[in-house]
Amino acid sequence: MEKRKLVELLEDMSMEEKIGQLLQLTGSYFMEDAVLTGPEAEIGVTDQEIACCGSVLSVHGAKELRKIQDRIMKSQPHHIPALFMLDVIHGFRTIFPVPIGQGCTFHPELVKEGASISAKETAVSGVHITFSPMSDLCRDARWGRVMEGTGEDKYLNGVYTKAMVEGYQGKDVKAPYKVGACVKHFAAYGLPEGGREYNTVEVSNRTLFEDYLPAYKEGVKAGAVSVMTSFNTLDRIPSTANRRLMRDVLRDNMGFDGVLISDYGAVMELVNHGIAEDGKEAAKLAINAGVDIEMMSRSYVANLKELIVSGEVEQSVLNEAVMRVLTLKNQLGLFEHPYKDASEEGEQAYILCKEHREAARKCAEESLVLLENDGILPLKKQGQHIAFIGPYVDNKELYGAWALMADGKDAKALSEIVPLLYPNNGYWFEHACNIVPKDSLLSGLASTLETKYTEEEEARAMERAVETAAAADIVVLMMGEHRLQTGEAAAVGDITLPKKQLELLERIAKVNENIVTVLFNGRPLDIREVKEKSSAVLEAWFPGTEGAYAVADTLFGTSNPSGRLSMSFPYCVGQVPVHYDEFATGRPKETEEVENKFCSRYEDIPNAPLYPFGYGLSYADFTYEYRRISKEQLKISKQDDFIEASVTVTNHSDVVGMEVVQLYIQDVKGSVVRPVKELKGFQKICLEPQESKTVTFCVTEEMLRFYDINMEYKSEPGEFRIYIGHDSTQSNGLAFHLTK
């Protein structure tokens, strides 16, 4: 539709119709014979409001959505189609690894391909927009939603945000099988105090701009059609009412002109936050702050008319918000094709198709991080007695949280796959214990939890497992968190594995010292005991629909692990937040062995995390040689000046392997303190046995910019150091000077 026609449409709409475009309700309101319960019933929307509702969340299925679209267009006076939105966070039905696992691939093209596959499955099921990517930077493993983000690094998160937005939307979101992206949760939702869900965020303006905003900005630059507000406060103002954040920063500064949607119920939550007296004031604050769509609360539909009549909200503010919603519908081509790609044939053809499964398997393989290996891995393909023990041995639910359409039936378990793929060993499989106890204190989880064993059964199963372990050559212990222990509303104060599983480890370690531990989890955990008692540790995250294949192939060496940690594994919970790009402080602790008491350190634990950012082992053996830079001066005044920083990497082993070559830069002195180093680039390369490759990075002045003492984003002349290595602990920098 031409812009002019959109304007005419807007002019012709009644006030109620306009406000209706700003309401988003769940699909339950539109289903035939739906019975509303819980929060959906409590909101109390009227039939008239439902009839004019502009967008719908959390429904899918071509047939159903076509019907809902027909119903909405019939009741809407101008027959305006609805937008359908859904959380497709790491796959629609073909589930990819949880985003933190995808972060560990250090392979943005793969992540982009995954997003494009998810878009296709989502689009054929009738949905137009996914509430993804989550670009929240997070350094605190207690927070449950770390699984939804790609890690602790601002640069890396930005790279993945861009890749996902491009994967979902393609070059034109109107094109077949593309969906709109929604960058969330703006802003700094990943920094709740104490890691506690929905908690207050306290962050300096400089840190906000320097570390927390860049990833969202990459999403905006990549053309994301929508952005979601966060639940938290920033500077004591809830984001959903934060005019400066939304209008000045997001719109003016970052140039976002798409639809801004509140998070679920977040407008009404302004009352709980204590900055709005009631729904009316909440609506006024949110719309004036620039929130276009209100998700699942009705303060707009109940109050905006009155607020406009009384002059507390300008008519132009309403028109502007409605116009953005109509523009988005137009961008998606909904006025001409209200069902867009919704097609039952498409669902049959594409959902879980071979090509999608293969991509998910590849992504899962590259997301696995080998944390320890004394040579026990890869496992021999014949002549061994291997006992696979633990609650993940026969578990098909390897998809983690936020996989709303996932179904265990779509996947295979390790116990099914291993004997088929590697038939020449002897295998035993023992489930051994529940993932978490039935009477688990985890709220919400306890009621839905299905556990395999009663207490007595579990005791017997543990006993049997220990006997099996004693008879085996090697034990592969498959342990982890319950898939719902991470995700929204899943913050914890203890980041160790469930107690029963630790007991299992301890008992098995007494009878067999050849333990390979495979971990399934959505957050970095305190795994000191696992490290101590295992000969190898493979971090599998929640690897998705094809995850069991990826794990089996990696254990047996058909696939060589190439994942690197996108988030540090803390030594223990007392160390969080822990991240590699920290500041030196006035009293730096030079080495872990240092005796000096009066430096920045703990008395009882090391400063260094158990496993640092960027870390991960391979079955190949890589060396880095001839680190060099092309010159030692970079001139600000000389346009397009750059330094080439290179290294020669050699694979000394007899297996093919992929290595992630990482570039870090340190700004030695600034007008404000600068991190000890920052990731500025990486390249994932594949090396044949005995092959060498030279990897070159181009260092430009632009990469050296930061928010200076006056909050101006620019570089400062002086000394810099370049570190090229296989993780963030690389020392021995190469110095260069930035000059005027």
- Residue 263 interacts with ligand BGC (CB under 6 A): yes or no: yes
**HSE-up of residue 394 (Cα within 13 Å, Cβ side):** 10
Residue nearer to ligand BGC on the CB measure, 57 or 83: 57
The nearest distance, CB 264 to ligand BGC, in angstroms, is 4
Binding residues among 47-66 for ligand BGC as defined by CB under 6 A: 57
Backbone angles phi, psi at 29, to 5 degrees: -70, -15
Per the rule left: phi > 0, alpha: psi between -120 and 50, beta: everything else, 377 is beta
| H or E segment to which residue 93 belongs | none
The residue from 93, 107, 184, 362 that contacts ligand BGC (CB under 6 A) is 184
The residue from 49, 87, 581, 678 that contacts ligand BGC (CB under 6 A) is 87
Residue nearer to ligand BGC on the CB measure, 87 or 716: 87
The string over 659-676, giving b where at least 16 C-beta atoms fall within 10 Å of a residue's C-beta and e elsewhere, is bbbbbbbbbeebeeebbb
Q: Are 97 and 363 in contact (CB under 8 A)?
A: yes
Residue nearer to ligand BGC on the CB measure, 179 or 536: 179
Rounded CA gap, 213 and 284, in Å? 26
The nearest distance, CB 24 to ligand BGC, in angstroms, is 9
Q: Return the amino acid letter for 559.
A: S
- Residue 488 interacts with ligand BGC (CB under 6 A): yes or no: yes
Quote the strand ranges of 265-421, DSSP E.
294-295, 369-373, 385-389
Residue nearer to ligand BGC on the CB measure, 132 or 512: 132
- Residue 294 interacts with ligand BGC (CB under 6 A): yes or no: no
**Binding footprint of ligand BGC, residue count (CB under 6 A):** 7
Q: Are 446 and 439 in contact (CB under 8 A)?
A: yes
Helix (H, G, I), strand (E, B) or coil at 95: coil
- Residue 216 interacts with ligand BGC (CB under 6 A): yes or no: no
The residue from 96, 106, 256, 264 that contacts ligand BGC (CB under 6 A) is 264
Q: In terms of residues, how long is the chain? A: 740
Site string for ligand BGC, 302-341 (x = CB under 6 A): ----------------------------------------
The nearest distance, CB 131 to ligand BGC, in angstroms, is 3
| H or E segment to which residue 21 belongs | helix 15-21
Residues in CB range of 46: below 8 A, 6 or more apart: none
Residue of closest CB approach to ligand BGC? 131
Site string for ligand BGC, 123-162 (x = CB under 6 A): --------x-------------------------------
Rounded CA gap, 379 and 654, in Å? 16
Residue nearer to ligand BGC on the CB measure, 226 or 501: 226
The nearest distance, CB 300 to ligand BGC, in angstroms, is 17
- Residue 422 interacts with ligand BGC (CB under 6 A): yes or no: no
Residue nearer to ligand BGC on the CB measure, 150 or 395: 150
Q: Are 332 and 127 in contact (CB under 8 A)?
A: no
Residue nearer to ligand BGC on the CB measure, 131 or 619: 131
The nearest distance, CB 89 to ligand BGC, in angstroms, is 8
The nearest distance, CB 299 to ligand BGC, in angstroms, is 17
Token pair listed for 624: 């880095």
Task: Name the residues annotated as catalytic.
Answer: 263
The string over 183-215, giving b where at least 16 C-beta atoms fall within 10 Å of a residue's C-beta and e elsewhere, is bbbbbbbbbbeebebbbebeeeeeebbbbbbbb
- Residue 539 interacts with ligand BGC (CB under 6 A): yes or no: no
Helix (H, G, I), strand (E, B) or coil at 365: helix
Residue nearer to ligand BGC on the CB measure, 295 or 368: 295
Rounded CA gap, 106 and 98, in Å? 14
The nearest distance, CB 262 to ligand BGC, in angstroms, is 10
Q: Which residues bind ligand BGC (CB under 6 A)?
A: 57, 87, 131, 184, 263-264, 488
